[in-house]
């Protein structure tokens, strides 16, 4: 990637300790073709604007054999800025393995975040049809096999009960054809907005906010954690 592209992708963080939604994160879960990203555009809360964490975000800017490594590197830098500023997050869980989602939720909770989950339901038929359509419009390196898609769909479906037990805020949306109506979207929007606006429950987060306000700090690394520790947590995130 040339320097001009890197410069265009620099991140600017202007939020402060007094902003709404800090230390709140929602994970999006669903099988292939569930429409997580599309659903997210419909229910995002405009007055808080959680940052989206997704390793696919930079792929369109990158070319060459090291596209995955470069994409992850850029996402790690972005995530560092988001976490250091305690920003509200939407975590688009591209991984269908529950252990990765729970690991990442645990990292956020250790920093004081309240975490929740938005679970997108689709039938296997819908999932496979959407994967087929997506495969028509992406390069060969990003095509998804239908066998893998079927296995991933089943894995996510069987994990739903487990997720419900692990996330105090757990909300489901059905997204087969025609199900994502204006009424469904509005209800989901209000639920998500309520989560980000609600009082922080995590005792570690409450302690952190109190100390940072008293000390006049804006970022975690101003005094709560060392920069090296935060970077270590982020490296564990992507293991």
Residue 5 confidence (pLDDT): 45
Q: What's the count of helices (H) and strands (E) in the chain, helices before strands?
A: 9, 5
* Domains, the chain: 17-237 (3.40.50.300)
Contacts of 42 (CB under 8 A, 6+ apart): 180, 185, 188, 189
Of 147, 144, 142, give the one whose Cα is nearest residue 124: 147
| CA distance linking residue 229 with residue 223, whole number of Å | 12
pLDDT tens, position by position, 165-211: 999 999 999 999 999 999 999 999 999 999 999 999 999 999 999 99
Enter the pTM of the model: 0.85
pLDDT higher than 90, residue 94: no
Q: 46, 192 in Cβ contact below 8 A?
A: no
Q: 53, 75 in Cβ contact below 8 A?
A: yes
CA-based angle 9:14:16, to the nearest 5?
145
pLDDT higher than 60, residue 131: yes
pLDDT tens, position by position, 25-80: 999 999 889 988 888 888 875 667 889 887 554 444 344 445 445 555 677 888 99
């Amino acid at each position: 990637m040339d320097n001009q592209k890197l410069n265009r992708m620099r991140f600017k963080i202007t939020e402060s300790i007094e902003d709404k939604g800090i230390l709140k994160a929602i994970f999006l879960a669903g099988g292939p073709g569930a429409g997580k990203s599309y659903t997210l555009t419909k229910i995002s809360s405009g007055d808080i604007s959680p940052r989206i964490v997704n390793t696919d975000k930079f792929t369109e800017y990158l070319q060459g054999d090291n596209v995955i490594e470069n994409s992850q590197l850029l996402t790690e830098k972005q995530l560092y800025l988001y976490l250091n500023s305690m920003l509200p997050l939407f975590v688009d869980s591209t991984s269908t393995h529950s252990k990765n989602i729970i690991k990442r939720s645990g990292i956020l909770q250790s920093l004081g975040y309240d975490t929740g989950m938005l679970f997108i339901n689709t039938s296997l038929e819908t999932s496979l049809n959407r994967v087929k359509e997506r495969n028509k419009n992406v390069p060969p390196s990003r095509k998804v096999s239908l066998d893998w898609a079927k296995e991933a769909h089943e894995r996510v479906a069987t994990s739903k009960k487990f997720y419900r037990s692990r996330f105090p805020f757990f909300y489901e949306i059905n997204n087969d054809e025609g199900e994502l109506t204006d009424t469904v979207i509005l209800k989901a929007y209000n639920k998500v907005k309520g989560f980000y606006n609600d009082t922080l429950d995590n005792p570690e987060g409450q302690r952190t906010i109190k100390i940072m306000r008293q000390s006049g700090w804006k970022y975690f690394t101003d005094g709560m954690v060392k920069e090296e520790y935060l970077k270590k947590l982020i490296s564990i995130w992507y293991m």
